[in-house]
Structures are given as C-alpha cells and as structure tokens.
C-alpha cells in the first residue's frame, strides 16, 4: 500500500556515486533529469535548458554556477534561477536522499 504522494518518488541512483561538484543525467520515467551535488546537497532539474532545450549535462559546472554548453546561459544550481540572463529559470523537481543513501526524485 502507499499513498499517491509516496508513489511519485523514484529511486534514481546512490548518493555515493554523485560526488560534490558533480552532475549527472538520469532517466526518470522517460524524463531526462539532471542531478547536481553542490556542497553535499543534491538538486534535481529537468535536463533541458529553458532557452532552446539543450541538455544541461553537456554544460559546465563551476561551484554553484551551471553554464549551458549551447549559448552560455548561466544558472544557479542551488535555486534554479537564471544568473545570466536573470529572467529565466530551470524546471526543478523535489529531490531527497533516503536513509539508505539512495537519491529519490519526485517529478510531481
Ligand atoms: S540552449 Fe542553453 S543557452 Fe541556449
């Protein structure tokens, strides 16, 4: 048994396999999701740039700044907000690390 909210969480990978300062694209129910570990906190976003849908895991991660490989838009991976330009944002998903060290993502 389990309620609907519980069933929306998907186990995607072991947190130990996503080191600090790393990002990784995973498939969740057919959706490409970008996982980012910044200072031990894990964040999940749709793996598509809001500009022209470029895969964000092709980009460059420097501290909390993610730069899209296509036209160099820059995002804050701790908030999903655009830094350059500022009037855009990544699509974020709920994300948590379970007691057994598994990263869970909720597409909502
Ligand atoms: S597609 Fe990412 S900046 Fe253009």
**93 contacts 46 by C-beta, under 8 angstroms:** yes
Q: Beta strands 65-67 and 60-62: pairing type?
A: antiparallel
For ligand 1, the distance from its centroid to the CA atom of residue 82, given in whole angstroms, is 12
Q: How confident is the model at residue 106 (pLDDT cuts 50, 70, 90)?
A: very high
Structural domain spans, the chain: 4-106
Q: What is the dihedral of CA 24, 89, 71, 56, to 10 degrees?
A: 10
Q: What is the pLDDT of residues 11-52, one digit of tens each?
A: 999 999 999 999 999 999 999 999 999 999 999 999 999 999
Residue 75's SS3 state is strand
Q: How confident is the model at residue 1 (pLDDT cuts 50, 70, 90)?
A: very low
**Better-predicted residue by pLDDT, 6 or 15:** 15
Q: What is the pLDDT of residues 61-79, one digit of tens each?
A: 999 999 999 999 999 999 9
Angle, CA 25 vertex, CA 106 and CA 31 arms, to 5°: 50
Rounded average pLDDT over 83-100: 97
Q: With 80 as the cut, is the pLDDT of residue 4 above it?
A: no
Residue whose CA lies nearest to ligand 1 atom number 4: 71
In this prediction, residue 107 carries a pLDDT of 95
In this prediction, residue 35 carries a pLDDT of 98
For ligand 1, the distance from its centroid to the CA atom of residue 72, given in whole angstroms, is 6
Residue whose CA lies nearest to ligand 1 atom number 3: 71
Residue 17's SS3 state is helix
Q: How far is CA 70 from the centre of its chain?
A: 18
**Better-predicted residue by pLDDT, 88 or 7:** 88
DSSP bridge partners of 27 = 32
For ligand 1, the distance from its centroid to the CA atom of residue 71, given in whole angstroms, is 5
Q: What would be the CATH architecture of the domain defined by 4-106?
A: 3-layer Sandwich (2.102)
- The closest alpha carbon to 73, from 93, 94, 95, 48, belongs to 48
Q: Which residues form the pocket of ligand 1, taking CB atoms under 6 Å from any ligand atom?
A: 49, 51-52, 54, 68, 70-71, 73
pTM: 0.93
What atom in ligand 1 is closest to the CA of residue 72?
3
């Amino acid at each position: 048994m389990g309620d609907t909210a519980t069933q929306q969480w998907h186990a995607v990978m072991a947190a130990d396999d996503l080191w600090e300062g790393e990002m990784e694209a995973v498939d969740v129910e057919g959706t490409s999701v970008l996982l980012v570990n910044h200072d031990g906190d894990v964040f999940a976003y749709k793996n598509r740039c809001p500009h022209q849908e470029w895969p964000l895991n092709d980009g460059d991660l420097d501290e909390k700044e993610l730069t899209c490989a296509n036209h160099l838009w820059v995002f804050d991976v701790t908030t999903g907000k655009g830094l350059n330009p500022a009037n855009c944002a990544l699509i974020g998903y709920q994300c948590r690390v379970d007691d057994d060290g598994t990263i869970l993502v909720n597409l909502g």
